[in-house]
Amino acid sequence: MHKIGILFLNGGSASTAILPTEIFAGTGTVWNALRGDDAEERFEVTTASLDGEPVRVGPAIGLTPECAFDGLGDADLIFVPAGGMELADLIREGYCIDSVVAANREVVPWLRRWNAEGKQIAGVCSGVALLAAAGLLDGRRATTHWAVAERYRRRFPAVDWQPEYLVTDAGDVYCGGGINAAADLALYLVEKFCGREVAVKTAKSLLIEMPRTWQVAFAHLSVRCEHEDAPVRRAQEWLHAHYADDVRLEGLAAMVGMSGRNFARRFKQATGQSPLGYLHALRIATARRMLENGRRTVQEVMYECGYEDPIFFRKLFRRHTGLSPNEYRARFGQGRGALAMAAE
């Protein structure tokens, strides 16, 4: 039986701690009970706070752990939920990585210690910041919420951030994107430790989906405009107004008074993307908005975004979102809200 230690941290989201607890505890038990079979527990779950005392994770939510961190000595895996920033703080101050780490500064040495002992570590949402602060993600692939990915890149440049994924696996360190990715990460670990059949049964018994791979379908175009390179900023503004035009690198560079080579270098330095990559991202972001809000056909959207080859457009759209244009419209288009689906 695998032994899982789930941390309870002050602040953050209760669901990122409670949902994994229920998924791990329900593995091999809920499905069996529903079918009248004997339970086959796969995980021994222990919850712990820093000092063993209850924690507060919201204005009216308190969590009482079973033990303190030092009681997790025989755990195989430590699960780190979101912590250090409640919703009210997020609304008032915005998301601040340093505030999250400072609020959990006593947790970070424990993560280093557990990692040195050979325990596997999983983190979700702001819990990923603690893994990064502990140095566990240096030189390794990791994910975080798409909306704060650029901040994580600046704060932890040694990490290979891949925010297009909801879950990343670096061998013994695992990451999940936003709050609801807690379920994806927990089920991913169930599948890794217990096999796909057990994971599917667990998901079915708890009425949740199997782990999703991508979060890019939920993301919006990340436009880095906080740089001080005025010519690059002018080029960005022009691209936003003329994204459907036949854009040529040489023409764009000449417009801002640079050689093509120098322009490409400075654009990548300022925005984190090549000019062509930026243009494709901008066009696909526009296509997504059209698919979400309008009744244009996919072919009409393709043309209006500057593409003429349907095969290339579909491949590029899937690369950026993880979905085909039709799949994206079915999931995010108007008329496909919860009320509409519930009425079917």
* CATH number belonging to domain 2-218: 3.40.50.880
Q: What is the pTM of this model?
A: 0.69
Q: Look at residue 21 in the predicted model and tell me its pLDDT.
A: 96
Q: Look at residue 338 in the predicted model and tell me its pLDDT.
A: 40
Architecture of the domain delimited by 230-332: Orthogonal Bundle (1.10)
Three-state SS string over 64-83 comes to CCCEEHHHCCCCCEEEECCC
Domain ranges across the chain: 2-218, 230-332
* Beta strand ranges found along the chain (DSSP E): 2-7, 43-49, 55-58, 61-63, 67-68, 77-80, 120-124, 141-142, 160-161, 167-169, 173-176
Residue 325: count other Cβ atoms within 10 Å of its Cβ.
23
- pLDDT tens readout for residues 209-221: 776 665 655 555 5
Cα 278 to Cα 202, 224, 246, distances in angstroms: 41, 10, 14
Low-confidence ranges of the chain (pLDDT < 50): 336-344
**Do 230-332 and 2-218 fall under one CATH topology?**
no
- pLDDT tens readout for residues 278-324: 999 889 988 988 888 778 899 999 999 999 999 999 999 998 888 89
Distance CA 300, CA 292 (A): 14
Decide: 38 and 110 in contact? Cβ < 8 Å.
no
